[in-house]
Chains A and B, each alone.
Chain A
């Protein structure tokens, strides 16, 4: 069975081919600046070409049996991965204003793939699905609910696929672990408290901008700072957004383009402050997570920088009375988890 797994980002589209669950991808690739018209049109060919080449080497012909698309935002109506129907598109249209950089592009992508890979089922896997189960007290903001002119004001998380799997991973090893802190180390890291498989607390917000600082994102800030920036610098929301989303976080503090792996190995004094700051934010969120669950049974690190988990865990152990042995690392990559989740939705449907 050939499963194409695709992950949607604003400017990068990643894809991989899997032929069985649990294995390594047969082929992997990515398309930068995929929303460029020319590049966009070539997406199906590029995927076919790469997958076909790999399979030919194994003397197998390429045909896609399932396409799984991982998307960052699906709102409240996508509670689990689902097989694409006309209804799915309608549901997406309804929320395109909530995640305006992602949903309209996702719809375009779906239509393109649907046309090209006629008859191949498409499964939509959303990062937010897991967080449709967040308790209301955790997801509300302390503002008038009618404030934003129809934009739903609620918190989600944006690494639900990792968090959900992280809990299962830990719980499968020991059924007694019902309270898990999942620390996902991606370019925008996220911490989630998962109790009995349900999220109780998460650092993400109404958008991925809130929460822990990321490689270029600011994370939590005082709302008044934004107003001060506007008044002092004459900036509008667009310019401020650019600064908070693309020039802040690790990059803002160190003045360099730097990922988390680089940050943890740098001895530059600004990088040391950034790292201490990041560790401190993780400590604060871990404390919140413990309070939310009334304790903790295990900690699981995941995401592309899961290797940093060990060092972070050592730091947390120096501060908190944590279960020393119940620290796990989930090494899986996102495209594989997406393929698994997508396949599950296909099987359920049958």
Chain B
């Protein structure tokens, strides 16, 4: 009750006493929509590709031979042990500065993309998500009861059938609550890409701040936008969790 009252009072204060007349201008520009769209598609792409990589990394660590599990463990450790900002800058400033030295890269078709900033952002965020989720899925793969795998083998399932019918689904079920939290963390990592000039919603708000000299309003808009996307992610995962037969545990 009190929380609600404080919340309503805060919203009223923000709506009435702060300046919001710049919003229609940037909205009609399409800049705000473009920023939100960039944030959302980068989140979606890095989430999808990162998760697929994470399945490989997790499975390699949980059940792979040493020549797969050691590199996978090393990759996850380096990703989890160093700041994402450093990884991002290393790709963009480091690798990005090496490419122009090779004429065959500059003449290749990939150069049109390598000149842009967003491929570095996508690769970096994908690797980061893969590293963290690889660790989560390693635990999830190991947590699937042995009896399940043994009975699948007793049924005469081939190794691939066992993996995609029994092992993977049960590991994903177990990892789902963690994955929801990690997805929110991934969303919260996306504004870092603004530091390498990708125009996401965070970059848009910086631009508004430079144009209008306003301190609070663009940052508030930003906070509300991220909280709204967070809310959507939480709802989506709640929906996904409810679809899983809960007797598994």
Q: Do A and B come from one complex?
A: no
**Chain B positions near chain A (C-beta within 8 angstroms):** none
Enumerate chain A interface residues (CB-CB to B < 8 A). none
